[in-house]
Structure 1
Amino acid sequence: MSHDVIMPALGMAQETGLIVAWLKAPDDVVKTGDPLMEVETDKATMEVEAQADGYLTGIRAQAGENVPVGEVVAQISDTPEDTAQAPASDPNAEAEAAPETSDASDIPEGAQIIMPALGMAQDTGHLTAWHKAPGDAVSAEDILLEVETDKSAVEVPAGQSGYIAALLAEPGEDVPVGTVIAVISAQKPDNPVMRSAKVTNAPAPKSEAAPPAQTAPDKGSKPVPFTAQQQGRILASPKMRRQATLEWLDLERLIEAGVPQPYHMADLDQLRSLTTTAASAQAIPQQAASRHLTAELSADGLADFLNWIETETGAPADSSAVLAGLAAGALADTTIVAVERFGHRRHFAAPAQHPLGHAPETEDAPTLILRDLRGSALTGLHLGPEDAPVLTLTGRASLTLTLEAGSAQMTPATALDLITGFAARLEMPLRHLL
């Protein structure tokens, strides 16, 4: 008996996953929980574990290949020689069992949301509940639905901002992995759709290009990791990437030192050493010439203000654009504000000169950096000055605002004006509009 290894969905909007590297060779013995391969999407990199004991056989996709979600990429078999194939299907039986389908033309256009694979052995997900109704406004971070498998129950975020144009499955239904279950449109739909998965069973879109023919790997040979450095991506295990973020370590230093990708926790000590060496030459002058100020404030004012914007406009608020405007309003000569949230950075041009939340984006270098780390476990930090003054927002129920800047970047009086002005705007954002 063989067990299929499928490409999992790491997010609701994911259609394919890039195999970074196989961590086991053909015919290797594997145990449940052993890392099998590394998979990367545009939002995450993860190690995929084996869900059964046996031997790795029938590898169908190689490192560097993008594979559609739900597609079988290998098998775990009882013996090294076992290459069991799925039994041929009976066309007549399929015709009899096929659910009634409807014309796909009546499904609104928009971003298609699929049933994610929450585990490698998962074929279907049990839709427990929808948290949004047809026509509702939704942001990417909002919980869209609850999914239950035989091992877990998970709240799944929308992954897209917009409006619920269609819900294509009902609570209580088992939906195959990779099936489109919702559509999120940019504009509010005139006639949002709600129907059962038994009526509409639309598969997730596949790439039109036929996959390249794969050559069976030699037995006993170790797979070669895929190097994506030339494509501008850094490949690292989720644990390594998370720890580097918490310690504010730059993975680019490993690339500069010639350390091959992908990176794992075993590379962390070397990254720390490289970071310490690079900073040692300027550490003393930076420490002696830095401004470090902190402020404590309630999180209620900002949360209520973002909710108010959504109520007034009928669309989710762009929190990064709003924060850029509030920060720029506290410092008159701020021209470019960079807002960074967990590694994703956007630059806003002259936010104080535009309606709040509507400043245009630019590629120009920032004059002020704002790190939005709300929701993280961090409660404070002391990293030293950078190329521009840095405001960092941390905390959950209450917020901590930290300002770090070099003495050449701003005077003590300017630093005090910036942090106190921004803190006041965060606690009473409506003051910015008056």
Structure 2
Amino acid sequence: MPHDVTMPQLGMAQDAGKIVSWLKSPGDAVSKGDALFEVETDKATMEVEAQADGFLTGVSAAEGDDVPVGQVIARISDNAEDDAAPEAAEPAPAASAAGDLSEGHRVTMPQLGMAQDSGLLVTWLKSPGDEVAVEDVLFEVETDKSTMEVEAGRKGWLAATLAEAGEEVPVGQPVAIISDAKPEATVARSVKDGAAKPAAAEAQGQAEPAPAQPTAPKPAAPVAAGGRILASPKARRLALEQGLDLGRLAEAGHPQPFHVADLEVLRAMPERGASGAPGVAAAARRLTARAAEDGLAGFADWAEAQGLTGDAMLAGLAGASLGRDGAVVVAVERFGDRVVHSVPGGRALSGVTPSEDAPDLLVRDLRGTRLASVEMGPEDVPVLTVTAEGDGLSITLECAAGQLEGPEAIRLLSEFAGRMEQPLRHLL
């Protein structure tokens, strides 16, 4: 099946590109990824790659030509004999109840990657009728690899929106029209619509149409087509940094696209454990420290003289590292067994006693196993995992964002790693 080669959009404000040179000739065999031609814009010169295997045919633009973004300039065909130039499709004029808007500036779906055929319009940040400046963000678009904000590129008024949030729009197809003068009536339509819809309907029975009022685009459905989650770039970044799952908002039917304010709703939602019941929050912090040596081996004789088991000693060192004034309950897991100790405030290891209370901290001792690192996610309490690393130790802290503040997590891990390397620090 023939594949059209179009002029890509290499910048948000780019209307056209100049073909600097063709790197393949008509009839040449090409493979996906081969450079076809070089294109120059105001800001960059780039090579455009073939997006399919076949033969370069139907070349309709020459070196030095300025070509509008999205215009078909060649074809990759199944055979070299298919040399008919592809017919350039004329963009349909954007008509509205207020008249022809073809004189306005068309904002097209950008090409954010060479392999991109279309983009998902995530959300509109301006409404029909709004006045816009050159750097104002009109909408957000998502591809398989990135999410970006698209700017107006010029000042004026947003006279028409030609796609709705949640719709896939082919690269180069107009999605908005910016007019130099304030429009008397505006247009808001869907890609699926064959014709434009007036943003404000005419009043019935009136001889003259009523002035159109700017209307916000229709919100996206709670779940996007294909199961994709619609969210602003900032919301995605913060969710990733904080270990929040945007999919839970989608499952709950929270309307998309998601923005930063929706993260508060997500944080307030009860989290699920393995069985789907409410449990701990998603992991938001994972820190790793290293100790040059395992100091507990040389400290064992002293601990035994004090009547301390290895588990009690680990619990005491971890509890003291938490830095709290009162007693701390610490659980220690080793080879599948768990023991729980109450650790008094201060540095008195001799005061560590067995406990049946719920732990405030868990120490997972994996020094006797073959495991070198862990990433198991949070539990009901912060978890310190100790693994062997050469002559030393690797210590990982995992916890949810609400369990420990950032400075508190850093202090806990740093203090515990230091005590594991030099246990005498605990007594000094």
TM-score range, shorter chain: 0.3 to 0.5
Q: Which has the larger radius of gyration?
A: 2
TM-score, normalised by the number of residues in structure 1: 0.37
Q: Select the structure that is richer in helix.
A: 1
TM-score, normalised by the number of residues in structure 2: 0.38
